[in-house]
Structures are given as C-alpha cells and as structure tokens.
Amino acid sequence: MNTILKKAVLPYCKGCGHDLVARNTAAALEQMGTDPLDVIVVTDIGCHGIIDGCLNTHTVHGLHGRSVAIGAGMAMGLDGQAKKIIVFIGDGGSTIGLQHILEAARLNLDMTVVVHNNMLYGMTGGQTSGLTPCGFRTTTSSEGNPWTGYDLCALAHTSGAALTSRVTGMGQISGQLREAFETPGFSLVEVIEICPSYGVRLNPGKKLRQIIEESGRLPGRWVNNREPFLIKQGEKTGNLLEELEAIKVDHKSPPGKPVSIVVSGSAGEGIQLAAGIMATAAVRSGCHVTQKGSYPVTVGVGFSTAEVIISPRPVIFHGIDIPDVVVVTSGDGLAHCKRRIKAMKRGTVFADTSLELPETGAAVVRQDFRSAGIRSACLFALFRMSADTGIISLGTLHRTVLESRLSPKVPVDKIMEMVKG
Amino acid sequence: MQKATEKQTVIVDGSRLVTEAMARAGADAFIGYPITPANLLYQYSGRRMPLFLPAPDEITALQWMSGLAATGKIPVTATSFPGFALMIESINMAYMMELPMVIVLVQRLGPATGTATCGAQGDLGLLRGMISGGYQLPVLCGDGFEGSWRLSSLAVQIAARLRTPVVYLTSKEEMMTRKSFNLALLDDISAAEVPMYTGKDPYRSYDKAGKGVPPFLPVGNNRWQVRLNASTHDRDGILQHSTREALDNTMRLQDKAPGHIDQFTRYEYDREEGASTLVISYGITAGAAREAVYNIRESGKKVSLLVPGTILPVPPGYYDITDRYERVVVAEENTVGQLAGILFGGRLPGKVHTVGAAGRMIVSDEIKREVLI
C-alpha cells in the first residue's frame, strides 16, 4: 500500500485504462513527494469517478461533467496555497462540460485535468460521446461513428492551457502526469483508452494504437508560456451605504396626502434621472418618496417610465394604479401610460404639445417641453408640474438640479425662464 | 456630496441594502452571471464582496461557488428564473455535499424568459419541489427595506450554521425600486459562523453531529482527509448504493431544515382582536396587503395580517395562526396561488381565497375587495 492509494485492488474491469491512470497518478505524486492532504482529487459521474474510496487524498465527487468547474472554484478558493487540484473526468463528462474546460484553460487556473478518454460512455451502456473517433463503433453507432470527435487538446491549448498533452493509455504514463502536476497553471492530460466492456467487444481486432492513428488524434504535447491565474479585484468599499448621498431636509412642505406621479418618456431621454432629482427634492422638502422604474429590456430604445410617490408619511406600498399626475414627453412614453391617462377621473396630465392624448377626466397642461432639448424635456415638464401644482417647490427642485451631476448638461436657467414666462 | 452615515436619510434601492447585509453577515465571495433584474446586486457585489468573479454561465457560477464553499468561503450569487433553472442540478449537489451558500432569486415575469423588466412572484412552486426527493432547503423572503436587510443577512447566517444552500427570494420591484429611507432603522448584523470540526479523531465529513449538522473542515486542510460527495454516500463521504448508513445520511438531510426551523422562523403577525379574516402575503405584495389591512380597519372592519419571512419549509406555527380564522385571503403576484397551494394543498379549503395578478403589482383595493366580499 502506498501513500496516495488506499487500496491495492481498484474497482475497475479487467484491462480498463482507468486503473492505469489511477496508479500512474499515484506514482507521479509519490515521485514528487506530495503529501496526500495537499492533493484534492475531484471526480464526477462515469466509471472513473468510483476511485474516490481508494484514495488517501481529499476527494470531491460531483456532477457529471462539472468536476472541472467545481475544481476551478477550489483553485480560486485556495489561491496562493500550495495544493494540487487534480480533476478526473471522462470523455462523456468532457463533452457535457466542455465549456468548463475551456474556461479553466482560458483563466489558466492552477489545476490539472486528466481526461479518461475511452471513446464512449462506459457506465451507461457504451454510447457515442463527443470524443468518439470517426468510424469507432459504439452501442449507438454499430456502423461506426459518422462524425469526427472533438480535438480536446487543441481546444484546451488554443483556450490558453499552460500545458496540454495526449498520451496513449498503455505502459508508464506517470512522467507525463508528473509534468502536468508540476506545471503552474492549467494543464490537461488526455489519456486515450479503450473500454474493455464495450470498445473492445464492438471493435474486434482493433488495437488501441491503430484506433489512435486512424483518428488522427496523435499523442503530443502543447505549451503556452503563461502566468497562472491570479485573482485580481477592482477597488473595494467596506460599506456600500457610505457611498450614498445624505439628504438633509431644507424645509418641511410635504403635500397633505400621498401624491402619485407617473413620468413617462423615451429611453435615453433622462427620464429616470429627472425623476430621481424630483425624488431628492421631495426628500429635501421633508417628504417620503418611492421611485419605481419601468422600461423594456432594451436599454436605449422604447419607453422609460418612472412611477414616483411623494408622501407626508412612509410609503407602505409603492405600486401605482391610477395616478394623480402624469408627465409625458414623448410618443413612447404616451403609448406606455395611455391606459392610465384614460382612466384618470381627476388630477393633471402634463403633456408635450406634439402628443395626441386620449379622452381623460384629468386636467391637461400642454407645453412644448421638447423645445428644451430631448434630454431636458422631462426635467422641463417636471419644473412645469412643480410650478403649477406645488407638490414640491420650484425653488427646491431648481437647487437640487444645480447640485446634481445633471447640472452642466441641462439648460436649467432657460427652463426656469420658460416656466416662469 | 455629503456621505451618508448610518443615521441619515438617503434614497436607496433594495439591491444595495441586500448586498451590504449579506457582506456584513459573512458572505465573502460573489460569483455572478448578469441577468435582469438581478444586475444591481451583481454591480454592487463587485465593489463590496472581498472576492468577486464573473462566471461564463449559471451552471459554472454554482459550481465555482461550490468549490469556493468547499475551501471555506461563504459564496453568494444573484439571478432570476432563467439562470436559476440552470443552477438547479448544482444546487442539488451543494445541498447533498452540504455546502453553505446563498442564491438570491430575483423573480420576474415568466414563463421562460418572460419579461425581464417586469416583476412577479412566480417561482415559489419551483422552490418547493426543486430538490429531488421532495426535500427542502430554506427559502427566506424579506419585505420592505428593513425586512430585506434582516432576512437576507439571516439567509447567510443560516447557510453557514446549517451548511446548506439557502435561497433568498425577492422580486424585481424590491431590488430595483428606489426609496427614501432612514439608515438608522437598520439592525446590527453579526457575522455568520460555520461550525468547524475540532476533534482529535479522524474527520468524517458527514458524521452525525448532535443536531444533525456535521461540523466542517475545508478541503486542502492538512489535519484530516475531507470527502465531499453529491451521490448517495456514507458518513465518510464515500459513494454507496443504498446502504442503511447512506440512507440514514440522506434522511438526516431531509430533517435538517425542518429540524432547525426554530432558528430561522421569521414572520410578522398583526393580529386584530375579534377579526375572523386573515390576510396572508409576502415579499413585494406584503406592502399592498398592509395598505389593504390599514384601509379595512379605517373603515371600521376587523382583519388580521400574516407576512411570512420564512417561506420554506413552512413553519408549523403558521397553521396555529391560520386555524384561528374563518376566512383566509392569500395575496401573491401570480395567478395560480402558489403560496396558497403550498400552505393549504392543491385543493384549497373553502375558507381560503386568493388574490393574484400577472404582469403587474397587486394593488391594495383588490385585496380589500376580497376581504370584504
């Protein structure tokens, strides 16, 4: 009994290459003098995965094809610690989890993936995998696989793996495995085997070397001279709440009861920003506010609507059914709030002169808001609303704009003149 | 700009509060894949979480989280249904391996990709049945900013304490709506603690501990061998078919969340003496329910309110409350009554009525009408 392997007899079929891989892995680690507890062997579903119980290393047995990904997480978590993460995976697992292999190679995570490529799904009945060579017979391709298998080594190498090698699963392969284990960064060793239960039986007379030669996936070794993965993080804060602007109450002039305002325009025209400034101005006036955004999935196309409630008391529920006030500055915005305008039996609609409003019970105030520029139209309309309704004072709104990052970008003085004029 | 201190009024969204709360509770890694309406959590986590990594897809995200958790981190992610659906097999894995983590599920209108920018409460049924075998992982949901702060931090603490994935359930309007808020209302949060193995005998990864939660050791430690296993396994973490010891271990998992429910039962019960009707609502719809209850009482009628914060497993105490009422109205933002079904079964008792909506928020008048009918 040696230090890596716990058992002398491994649980594989006679002649299975998985046995060879396990013993050579153990031999390589022992040649390196590695403490078993410095090794984490990650396996998943497939015959290779039943090796766990035979190992003295840490073992993690995961989901089919995901062993590389969970191993990647460990590599990130153990960043900087001298541990060996060795992932065992089959050709089926490599097919379903191909993205995980490419990602780990791209990042050059410090780990080794040992692919047990016996050219079919052995555990589930000998079906064709993504690595089955063209012409190789499986239980689901009795005439021979019509398609060429992935060149996994080429994919890993071009994705950035520090070391990739393909070896024939015969004889001693501990040297190739050791080289991979000692390579900083991501290494992948594809071991080509033949499954004694299916591969041998379905492909009588074919030798492993012959199959490899016919497949064109020849043994080899490919290197990228890269630094292994290093965790790089951007600037951090220890408290997200400290980033917020403290809003001080200038004066107390809240409305007597909650007022619901729908501000609707086009995406990219500063609707949410303008509504946010109004919300800030309301808090400065001693009000409680909520601001719910509504927009399509596209960022710069279609409507953009902000639903704002300004209240003398905390707002329990921020949904708005029929609003008290609608501010609408574009056709997109109108289309989105037409139903509500139609349903209004009271209140006020502030609308750009270009818009054709539906029948409504609300009072209508029209002005050419877009004359202030499309990115300032909404702010202009909110100034108008403020001047006409007194929900928040025009002066407070004006001051809030001047102190905001919007200030240099909008013609605030011109808007004030137009509102007063 | 004057920076906010912890006692000042600000305008803030729920995503910022939840991210901060989870970080204070001990979450130290965020693995993300962008998806609306969870993107603000992703954005804030990049600056707040000690470790932030962008995954190439949601399956990878959960696998990376599991790997990080195996090394001793408490990772978090945030997603919505399409991403969550991809995560489910891996969440089952983390449940079976007993790895602490929190998945923030920001609900949006489905089915499938539905409408990314429209809120909903349509994923609870999925959460009830997502673990094969019908087992249950903890699902918590806050309402309002204070509730979101408390319940999202509790999600991290419970994940650590019970060594389990926890879902923090929320929705688009709770995570994206901005509100004025006094930061002084936020409670202090204590950092989570994972129960660690300190014994002198060789470590058995799934050895039955006093309360059914095996103490933890990270992979890679140099004291004892650690084995983690997603397949049916014995106490050592070695794959088994269906041996007694392995099945006992699985049964222990079945009992883990229900057996510790007292540690994470959170709800608000606003009882009115003499009321015969109870309104039940959670998350985003709880605000409408509160408003409805306020208005009903203003009109001189009696009504009580139950707002569950612990959604799953269902705390038995909820039934002690519902049994007292002749009429129960369950309000939730879906049209099939998922919470009602979970609480009362597929064939609702005659006293249970539902208020639902799809593609819009439920408003208080709808709840009020159903209560007063």
Tell me the mean pLDDT in the region B323-338. 98
Domain B267-372 in the same topology as domain B1-264 = yes
Nearest chain B residue to A235 by CA: give it: B47
Do the chains contact at B290 and A316, CB–CB below 8 Å? Answer: yes
Q: Is B115 in a helix, a strand, or coil? A: strand
C-alpha A306, offset from chain centre: 28
Name residue B268's beta-bridge partners.
Answer: B307
Do the Cβ atoms of B102 and B159 come closer than 8 Å? yes
Do the Cβ atoms of A333 and A264 come closer than 8 Å? yes
Do the chains contact at B9 and A247, CB–CB below 8 Å? Answer: yes
**CATH number attached to the domain at B1-264:** 3.40.50.970
Q: By the CB < 8 Å criterion, does A35 face chain B?
A: yes
The percent of residues in chain A predicted with pLDDT above 90, rounded, is: 92
Tell me the mean pLDDT in the region B277-281. 98
Q: What is the pLDDT of residues A219-272, one digit of tens each?
A: 999 999 999 999 999 999 999 999 999 999 988 888 889 999 999 999 999 999
Nearest chain B residue to A318 by CA: give it: B287
The minimum CA-CA distance between A88 and chain B, rounded to whole Å, is 14
Strands B51-54 and B29-32: parallel
The minimum CA-CA distance between B305 and chain A, rounded to whole Å, is 14
Taking CB atoms and an 8 Å cutoff, what residues of chain B touch A37? 220-225
pLDDT score for A255: 87
Longest dimension (CA), chain B: 68
Q: What is the pLDDT of residues B87-127, one digit of tens each?
A: 999 999 999 999 999 999 999 999 999 999 999 999 999 99
pLDDT bracket for residue B154 (50, 70, 90): very high
Alpha carbons B66 and A74: distance in angstroms, whole number = 8
Of the partner residues A69, A247, A297, the one whose CB lies closest to the CB of residue B36: A297
Token digits for A363? Answer: 């009072």
Q: By the CB < 8 Å criterion, does A243 face chain B?
A: yes
Alpha carbons A90 and A47: distance in angstroms, whole number = 8
Q: Which of B12, B13, B73, B179 to mutate against chain A (most A CBs within 10 Å)?
A: B179
pLDDT score for B302: 98
pLDDT score for A1: 40
**Helical H segments across A33-166, by residue range:** 67-77, 91-96, 98-107, 152-159
Q: Is the dihedral of CA B281, B286, B289, B295 positive or negative?
A: positive
CB-CB neighbours of A391 under 10 Å: 24
Residue A96 pLDDT more than 60? yes
Taking CB atoms and an 8 Å cutoff, what residues of chain B touch A76? 51, 53, 64, 67-68
Size of interface A-B (CB pairs under 8 A): 241
- Measured at the CA of A357, the angle between CA A352 and CA A358, to 5 degrees, comes to 165
Token digits for A267? Answer: 């995406």
Do the chains contact at B51 and A292, CB–CB below 8 Å? Answer: no
pLDDT bracket for residue A117 (50, 70, 90): very high
Task: Provide φ and ψ at B334, rounded to 5°.
Answer: -150, 170
Return the domain boundaries, chain A.
17-223, 247-420
- How big, in percent rounded to 5, are the helix, strand and coil portions of chain B? 40, 20, 40
Residues with Cβ within 8 Å of B351's Cβ and at least 6 positions away in sequence, in order, are B325, B326, B327, B328
Nearest chain B residue to A71 by CA: give it: B67
Taking CB atoms and an 8 Å cutoff, what residues of chain A touch B31? 73
Radius of gyration of the CA atoms of chain B, in A: 21
Do the Cβ atoms of A228 and A110 come closer than 8 Å? yes
Give the residue among A339, A259, A337, A349 at the shortest CA–CA distance from A303: A337
Do the chains contact at B10 and A246, CB–CB below 8 Å? Answer: yes
pLDDT bracket for residue A298 (50, 70, 90): confident
* Residue entry with tokens 């039934």: B319
pLDDT bracket for residue B7 (50, 70, 90): low
* Residue entry with tokens 């709840």: B367
The minimum CA-CA distance between A152 and chain B, rounded to whole Å, is 19
Distances, alpha carbon A312 to alpha carbons A258, A288, B227, in Å:
6, 6, 58
Give the residue among A221, A194, A179, A63 at the shortest CA–CA distance from A131: A194
Nearest chain B residue to A34 by CA: give it: B222
Nearest chain A residue to B113 by CA: give it: A297
Tell me the mean pLDDT in the region A122-147. 96
Alpha carbons B186 and B8: distance in angstroms, whole number = 11
Distances, alpha carbon A361 to alpha carbons A325, A342, A348, A364, in Å:
12, 7, 9, 9
pLDDT bracket for residue B5 (50, 70, 90): low
CB-CB neighbours of A402 under 10 Å: 12
Alpha carbons A227 and B355: distance in angstroms, whole number = 59
The minimum CA-CA distance between B147 and chain A, rounded to whole Å, is 13
Name residue A167's beta-bridge partners.
Answer: A191
Residue B17 pLDDT more than 80? yes
Residue A322 pLDDT more than 90? yes
Taking CB atoms and an 8 Å cutoff, what residues of chain B touch A6? none
Do the chains contact at B226 and A294, CB–CB below 8 Å? Answer: no
pLDDT score for B358: 97
Q: Which CATH class is domain A247-420?
A: alpha beta
pLDDT score for B209: 66
Tell me the mean pLDDT in the region B195-207. 95
Taking CB atoms and an 8 Å cutoff, what residues of chain A touch B1? 245
pLDDT score for A408: 87
Q: Is B321 in a helix, a strand, or coil? A: helix
Give the residue among A179, A32, A49 at the shortest CA–CA distance from A112: A179
Mean pLDDT computed over every residue of chain A: 95
Return the domain boundaries, chain B.
1-264, 267-372
Alpha carbons A138 and A341: distance in angstroms, whole number = 67
C-alpha A133, offset from chain centre: 33
The minimum CA-CA distance between B205 and chain A, rounded to whole Å, is 11
Q: Which of B71, B93, B113, B233 to mutate against chain A (most A CBs within 10 Å)?
A: B71
Q: Which of A43, A88, A237, A241 to mutate against chain B (most B CBs within 10 Å)?
A: A241
Do the chains contact at A237 and B36, CB–CB below 8 Å? Answer: no
pLDDT score for B75: 98
Burial class (CB in 10 A: 0-12, 13-18, 19+), A251: exposed
Q: Is A350 in a helix, a strand, or coil? A: strand
Q: Which of A54, A60, A248 to mutate against chain B (most B CBs within 10 Å)?
A: A60
**CATH number attached to the domain at B267-372:** 3.40.50.920
Token digits for B227? Answer: 């084995």
Token digits for A18? Answer: 């998985």
**CATH number attached to the domain at A17-223:** 3.40.50.970
Alpha carbons A40 and A57: distance in angstroms, whole number = 6
Torsion of CA A400, A404, A408, A409, to 10 degrees: -90
Residue B152 pLDDT more than 50? yes
Residue B243 pLDDT more than 50? yes
- The better pLDDT of the pair A408, B74 is held by B74
C-alpha B341, offset from chain centre: 18
CB proximity under 8 Å: A 199-238 to B: 231, 233-237
pLDDT score for A286: 94
Do the Cβ atoms of A256 and A223 come closer than 8 Å? no
The string of DSSP letters for B156-193 reads HHHHHHHTSEEEEEEEHHHHH-EEEEEGGGPPP-PPP-
